Amino acid sequence: MRPSIIVGFALLNILASPATSQELIPRRSLEVSIAESSPGLLGQLCTGERLFIRLTYQSDRPVRFRAEGYAAAQKMIASARYSISPPYPVGKGEALVWISFHRSTAIDEIRIAAFDGYR
């Protein structure tokens, strides 16, 4: 029996910097959820097989996304390939990301990283 993938979200570079005494910068807002995946979120991806993940989001600033695979709490970096995410606009919307590996890989967790769309 294959393990299910635990889906988590990593929010990176999306919160505002601390305010200086001269200015007050509001906290940034981002909500993300997984709407669908293809193939399903199972633990094994074959060599070169892409796992596509359709996201829904609501953000108060442009945002980029990336899917990251983990196995036994270790990020699978060496053999991973990721989609290049365009900046998605402010408001409600959908985004598509994918991840694949150069060799057959078992993963037990997918994290969706979110980045400031301005960078």
Angstrom distances, CA of residue 34 to CA of 6, 78, 111: 12, 25, 11
Strand partners of residue 94: 56
pLDDT of 52 above 90? yes
pLDDT at 94: 97
pLDDT of 8 above 80? no
pLDDT at 86: 92
Task: Looking at mean pLDDT, say which of 26-30, 42-46, 68-72 comes out highest.
Answer: 68-72
Write out pLDDT tens, residues 75-112.
887 788 989 889 999 999 999 999 999 988 888 888 89
pLDDT at 116: 86
Domain boundaries, the chain: 6-15+28-116
Is residue 107 a contact partner of residue 45, using CB atoms and an 8 Å limit? yes
The answer regarding whether domain 6-15+28-116 maps to CATH 2.30.30 reads no
